[in-house]
Structure 1
Amino acid sequence: MKLFLLVVLGVALCTESASSLTCFSCKDATSNIHCLGTTKCGENEKYCLTTYSSSGTGSDRSQRITKKCSAFCPTIDLNIGIAGVATSCCESSLCNISGASSVKTSSTILTLGVLASLACILRMGF
């Protein structure tokens, strides 16, 4: 009897995991540790999506993490110096435990922006 109950339980668990996706979820969290809530995805949602955004520089830098179920997997990896957005997605339950690749502000882009601004100012002054 115990073996029969174990087999029935195993089949029930396998059937449930095959038909539905569960993802970690949070909205605009400041740390990945605040993204441990879970949500059951709808039938048309096939991906667990993580979006990581950052803005500012140095001590004024802020970051936000959003995790959710998604029907599509957008590929975004945008860095414009003082702000950036990156996404990652996966297709198995609770696969989005870690954050998306962090977006780091590029010191090269910041330096080029400052130099370009300085050049414009100097050109206008003369």
Structure 2
Amino acid sequence: MAASILILLVTALLIGTAYSFSCYTCIAQSRNEDCMSTTTCSASEPYCMTTVASAGIGSLKYTSITKTCSIACKASSFGTSLGSGSVSCCSTSLCNVSGASGIKYSYSALVLSLGLLLVLRRN
């Protein structure tokens, strides 16, 4: 019985993830607050990619944030005396909420872990 519940839970989580993968998207915005539009990605685009570029001289500074669904993504960063840039990648729905890379929460993994703990505790 417990195994059946666990299988149903895992199946439900995988189906929801497979058909509803979304990313925040924007093109060349100066503020992250302007990058809160969501887009449902195609099945061939399993990554959310965020590119942040900053440049400036003295008090003149410019930041450009672009967020997209992506077929492939490789995290990277660079810096020069005039500017810097970074590319961050993630692969859970709406994981690119901020321009900064860091820990991203996966609610599917959290629910799956909780379900597994409950099943193991009953046995």
Name the TM tier (shorter chain): 0.5 to 0.7
Percent of aligned pairs with the same amino acid: 41
Divergent runs of 4+, >2 A: 11-20
SS of residue matched to 1:55: strand
Structure 2 counterparts to residues 36-51 of structure 1, below 5 A: 36-51=36-51
TM-score (norm 1): 0.65
Q: Give the match for residue 84 of structure 1.
A: 84
Structure whose CA Rg is larger = 1
Deviation at 1:35, TM superposition (A): 0.2
Alignment of 1:54-73 (within 5 A): 54-73=54-73
Structure (1 or 2) with the greater strand fraction: 2
TM-score by length of 2: 0.66
User: Considering only aligned residues, what root-mean-square deviation do their CA atoms show, in Å?
Assistant: 2.0
Counterpart of 1:81 in 2: which secondary structure? Answer: coil
Return the structure number with greater helix share.
Answer: 1
For structure 2, the 5+ residue unaligned runs are 1-10, 102-123
Contact 1:56 1:83 in 2 (8 A): yes
Greater relative contact order (CA < 8 Å, ≥ 6 in sequence): 2
2:59 alignment partner, SS class: helix
Which residues of structure 1 form unaligned runs of 5+? 1-10, 102-126
Q: Size of the alignment, in residue pairs?
A: 91
